[in-house]
Each structure stands twice: as structure tokens, then as C-alpha cells.
Amino acid sequence: MGHKRTIIKFKILISLLLVASLLLFALPVQAALVEPTYSPGPGGDALCSGDFYFRIDDNAEINGETGNGLDDLGPGTYTATNGTIEVEFTLYAAPNGGSISAVDWELLTPGYKIMVVGVQDGVDGGLIYDYGPLGGVTSDTGLTTPGPDQCASCTCKNISHIDFCYTEDENGNGGTPGEIVGGEIYPAGKLGLLAPWLLLALALGAAGIVLARRRSTE
């Protein structure tokens, strides 16, 4: 009887762990690939120079038109180009922030990769996301303007402009952006993806040990 009860408990435990794993995978992951560096002050200088720099603001071609600032656009998904690269970006509200204080972006042009992105709010400064140690990337999510972690007056205000430093990828003809600024790199979301499986493996191991001990005492 004790052995059957142990088996039943073991099956219930496995079922609960599987459900928990599925729920964890279903949760949306909305975090940038790297930890940003705070750049205080309004405006913000160009992060890189020459032909490898693209700023999305009211001078950029957005959805085929120029003259529209990000405040004019509001929340939504748009495409912008400087004639060399095209970027799709989605503006939305960061937690407790302005209506367009966060952005997801994706590079649509093959043969290039993004090395640095700067997200500026025009008041408190900006956050600089350096993808150099990752070798450059083609998309990221959850980039925001400066918040309380950066300064006392920082409240994730609306984005005024977005800067992109880019370069040709390994299949291109070379070319590097100017000086790259950035912060410490945190491998993005890997722990979040592996955590459910690690939890499941640990639980299975523990349950196996308990079952083996029960059998040895019967």
C-alpha cells in the first residue's frame, strides 16, 4: 500500500512540474539583450560617425514619410530607413512610464547588424545598449528611456529619438562603426529559457531519490 501511494505522489509531482514548466514558457519575456549604460543630459550626441549611423527622429523617413516625430506617431509599429538599412520598431509604454517610453526593434535589411542603440528622452538623457561584445545583433525588445534606477528625476519619459550604430555582417564587404559605448553584457534570457527544464530535472532527481529510499525501507 505504501509503495502505491508513493507512485501516486510521484505522478502528481511530475504533472504539477510539467504544468509549471508550460506556464513559465508561456510568460512573455520583455527584456533587453544587454544591460544599458546611462548617458545623462538632454539631446545626446551621435554614438558613431559616418555612413554607419542612423537616427530615428522627425528628420527620418518613417513609413515612407518625413517630418513626423515619435510623439506625433504614438504607440504602434513602424518602419524607418536612411536609404541603407531599414528598421521596424514598435513603440509602447514601459511600466509606469510614458505612452512611448519603450521600444522593440528589428533590422529588416540583410547583410548588416546593429552594434549600438541609444534611446533618448530629450530631458533626462538616454540609455545606451551596446551589442559589441555579442558581435552585433539584428533585433531586441524592451529598450526604454532612463528610469528611477538611473536618476532621481528619471521616470521613463517618452522617447524623443533612437540612434542606431550598424556595420556590415561577416558576409558583407567590411566596414566598422565609430567608437562604441556601452555597459556590462548580460546573456539575454538564457536563464529564463533554461530555468523550467533545470527545475524539472532537479525535481525528477529528488523524486527518484525519495522513491528509491522508500523502496529500500519496505
Phi-psi region of 20 (alpha: psi -120 to 50; beta: other; left: phi over 0): alpha
pLDDT at 170: 75
pLDDT at 93: 96
Question: Would the CA dihedral through 90, 91, 92, 95 be positive or negative?
Answer: positive
pLDDT at 200: 58
pLDDT at 122: 87
pLDDT at 176: 40
Cell of 24: 513559465
Q: Are 214 and 68 in contact (CB under 8 A)?
A: no
CA dist., res. 18 & res. 211, Å (int): 19
CA dist., res. 84 & res. 63, Å (int): 15
Cell of 144: 526604454
| Its pTM surpasses 0.85 | no
**pLDDT per position in the chain (218 positions), as tens?**
555 555 555 555 455 444 444 333 333 435 799 999 999 876 555 567 666 899 999 899 999 999 888 989 999 999 999 999 999 999 999 999 999 999 999 999 999 999 999 999 989 999 999 999 999 999 999 999 999 999 999 999 999 999 999 999 876 543 443 333 333 322 333 333 344 545 555 656 665 565 556 556 65
